Amino acid sequence: MLEGAGTLEVLISETAIRARVTELAAEITRDYAGRDVVLVCLLKGAVIFASDLARAIRLPVRLEFVRAASYGAGRVSSGEVRIEETDGIDRAALASAVAGGEVLVVEDIVDSGRTLGRILSHVQDLGARSAEVCTLLYKDRNVDHPFGVRYIGFRIEDRFVVGYGLDFAERYRNLPYVAVLEDRDLPGV
Ligand code: IMP
Ligand code: MG
């Protein structure tokens, strides 16, 4: 039994996620036909989405990782985004994969968009031939992002969600569905 997960409201079921991942992968397979794709997965939240997505894409795929931190242990963005690709990740390998490559940044959720903005400019600095974004979730906050998000799994309201890679203080990443975390679900709140 998943600790504390029994009471959470399921927002997107495992079945719905699976179906949507299959659709997104089919779209990517069509759009990138004849090309190799470099999936740049944002650690840690996108790791589960990226691994399902990668297996459903019918093209040669390279899998790279980047770590960006904008949230601490709380539910509100600190506003500061740091890229930490040297943290156990080979900076040179990332640079050579991205240079001249068709890059698809895989993200768990676009909230303020600060994380993605930062990652996309980094990928462009490394000389990507193209750079697009595939996100599982997109929070509708009427924010104008300076970049396009080409592939969106699900648009959701501005609520804090966990599961399928998304965490609260490193918990709930292994839920196979996406659930809403309310204040009443928090221990000691
Ligand atoms: P942004 O830079 O504000 O777009 O924030 C993106 C990052 O914040 C994501 O990669 C997540 O790690 C985290 N995040 C934003 N919203 C949520 C949420 O509802 N649940 C869990 N993590 C979130
Ligand atoms: Mg997170």
Would you state the pLDDT for residue 81?
63
User: Ligand 1 pocket: which of 109, 116, 156, 180 to mutate (most atoms <8 Å of CB)?
Assistant: 109
Would you state the pLDDT for residue 1?
44
Other C-beta atoms lying within 10 Å of the C-beta of residue 152: 15
Ligand nearest to the CA of 77: 1
Would you state the pLDDT for residue 112?
87
> Chain-wide mean pLDDT for the chain?
87
Ligand 1 atom nearest 111 alpha carbon = 4
CA-CA distance, 19 to 144, in Å (whole number)?
Answer: 28
Would you state the pLDDT for residue 98?
93
Ligand 1 centroid to Cα of residue 137, in Å, is 10
CA-CA distance, 155 to 142, in Å (whole number)?
Answer: 12
pLDDT (tens digit per residue) in 63-121: 999 988 665 555 555 566 666 655 456 678 888 999 999 999 999 999 988 888 889 99
Q: Which residue has the higher pLDDT, 188 or 181?
A: 181
Q: Is 108 a catalytic residue?
A: no
pTM exceeds cut of 0.75: yes
Residue 80's H or E segment, with its range, is: none
Domains of the chain listed by start with CATH number? 9-70+80-185 (3.40.50.2020)
Q: Is 178 helix (H, G, I), strand (E, B) or coil?
A: strand
Instruction: Enter the DSSP assignment of 93.
Output: H
